[in-house]
Amino acid sequence: MTTRNGRAAADDTVAAVVRQWQTVRPDIDTGPMEVIGRINRCAALLQQAEDAPLRRAGLTRAEFDLLGALRRTGHELTPGDLARETFSSGAAVTKRLKQLQERGLVDRRGDTRDRRVSHLSLTDAGRDLVDALLPDQLAYEKTVLSGLGGAGQGQLSVLLGELLGQLEGRPGGPRA
């Protein structure tokens, strides 16, 4: 079976929604819904799974992203830096950092020139946890993507990279 735009019809939740829309509104092009709906559904399902290795370590994806940012940059960051690195709000970063500090994974050092600024770094325990979790997390993600095969993963990565570039407003992308 193919859709009106010539693409092969998928048999998933989004396909069912698209078929319903095509029944009640055959005059509209559901092509964008077929892509955006699937991206949103995949993101929701991945968030529900909450990444098995991280969950076993008692971390959320957002907490791991903060620890990972501190590890991969290799230097101290401010809470504002971490918010930019992880695409999070300042309030969310502050809450997560408090929890990570209480667990002994992050150190906070005040700025000598400006008391309002703090500098964050991983403790040895934080660095060891990230280093231990990263291979397991990547293996988990590899398993999640395994049904696509190498070529499919490469194509998806390129296409999502192009979409992300457009959404981030890089040159060549559409402007809102």
> Which residues in the chain come in under a pLDDT of 70?
1-9, 50, 171-176
pLDDT of 171 reads 60
- Phi, psi for residue 2 in degrees, rounded to 5: -125, 160
Rounded to whole angstroms, what are the CA distances from 119 to 73, 88, 141? 13, 17, 31
User: Tens digit of pLDDT for each residue in 72-112?
Assistant: 998 999 999 999 989 889 899 999 999 999 999 999 998 78
pTM: 0.75
